[in-house]
Amino acid sequence: MKNTICRTQPLSLGDVALAAELTVPATARGLVVFVHGSGSSRLSPRNRAVASGFNWRGLATLLFDLLTEDEQRRDEVSRALRFDIPLLSGRLVEVIDGLNNDAELRYLGYGLFGASTGAAAALQAAASRPQAIQALVCRGGRSDLAGAALEAVAAPTLQIVGGEDPVVLCLNREASRQLHCVHQLAVISGATHLFEEPGALEEVARLAGDWFERYIGGSAG
């Protein structure tokens, strides 16, 4: 894409630095921050495929690692940090605050795209920064792990779940009952948790892209 800005540099959050990749189309009016989970990273092929689709729509994207390299190595053994939602959401809030202080980005409306346990972190962050986050999409999300924050989410929220992912589908239905914002649960027939079936991830990207285009616009504040 012509006139697209691509920036690859660490995000400095206090005493940690997190690897990140920012892509900003020339006519971008919104920025979607990806929040991965369950041992994934900014290099997730699923999130990168979805991000590419957003960029073609004119949405900027930020993919970043929620954990440092050392933390990721430890988490591969313990699998504990990926479920430390307060840690993940706290770092995400710092990222959001940093965006608001970036002269080149603060004019954009912000959205969050959370997957698996990252969805819980995204929901908690959205509840913590209601003036900054304009829209939220959860892909196969563990929305239940957001706890009491669900009731405080103000941003329009779309939950996308595979029809063949019964446990997560049940958890998302329960989470929907606790949301007081504009919200929708979209079930992709025949898809499992990772949306690996032909056409499933493309449908995720279409639904999410439509949601962000509908609700993101103008300054995030």
The CATH number covering residue 177 comes to: 3.40.50.1820
221 lies in a domain? Answer: no
Residues forming a β-bridge with 7: 22
The DSSP annotation for 175-190 comes to HHTT--SSEEEEEETT
The pair phi, psi for residue 64, each rounded to 5°, is -145, 160
In a domain, 37, yes or no: yes
The arrangement of strands across the sheet holding 20-24 comes to 5-8, 20-24, 59-64, 30-35, 109-115, 133-139, 157-162, 183-188
Residue 195 lies in a domain: yes
Q: Is residue 220 part of a domain?
A: no
Q: Residue 12 sits in which domain range?
A: 5-215
CA–CA distance from 126 to each of 53, 79, 111, 129 (Å)?
23, 25, 9, 5
pTM of the model: 0.92
Task: Quote the number of domains for the chain.
Answer: 1
Element (H, E) at 144: none
Residues 6+ apart with CB under 8 A from 50: 34, 113, 139, 201, 204, 205, 208
Tens of each residue's pLDDT in the chain, 221 residues = 556 778 888 888 888 899 999 999 988 989 999 998 766 778 788 889 999 999 999 999 999 998 888 888 888 888 888 789 999 999 999 999 999 888 889 889 999 999 999 999 999 999 999 999 999 999 999 999 999 999 999 999 999 999 999 999 999 999 999 999 999 999 999 999 999 999 999 999 999 999 999 999 855 44
